[in-house]
Amino acid sequence: MMKWTYQNQDRFEHRMRTPTVTSATAIVCVETDEDDNLFFYYLMVIMPILALAAYIYDALTLFKSNDETGGLLSSILFIFSLVQYSITIESKWLLTGYQFLLWIMVTAGDVLCLILF
């Protein structure tokens, strides 16, 4: 990083900072220290499930009601399904189960949309 400091009101001094990386094989792990961070972590886990549940719900209600606003809920919540790529689940089994659940929900919504329309 570069840092510029103002000295003697006329000249700038340029100093370089050295990076503080200890080894090339260091593992970067973000730990939640506060309750707020834990709240947002759980929110990031739950929001993709809610977004895909809204997709399935909209596919079912659009077929039954033939409403012009059908699909609006899943259109708004679709952005939250992309949050799944931002979370870190350390257990491989939990991560596989979580991704499989999301895949089943996406597939169910797609099949419902194809069959019911």
Q: Express each pLDDT in 49-69 by its tens digit.
A: 999 999 888 888 877 776 666
How high is the pLDDT of residue 97? 93
Domain boundaries defined on the chain: 32-116
- What pTM, to 2 d.p., does this model score? 0.63
How high is the pLDDT of residue 12? 42
Amino acid at the residue 114 = L
CB-CB contact of 56 with 112 (8 Å):
yes
How high is the pLDDT of residue 14? 43
Strongest mean pLDDT among 3-7, 53-57, 101-105:
101-105
Give the least confident one: 16-20, 90-94, 104-108.
16-20
Token pair of 10 as six digits: 């006329």
For residue 72, the SS3 value is: helix
- The candidate with the shortest Cα–Cα distance to 90, out of 21, 41, 36, is 41
Amino acid at the residue 62 = L
Rounded Cα gap, residues 46 and 85, in angstroms: 13
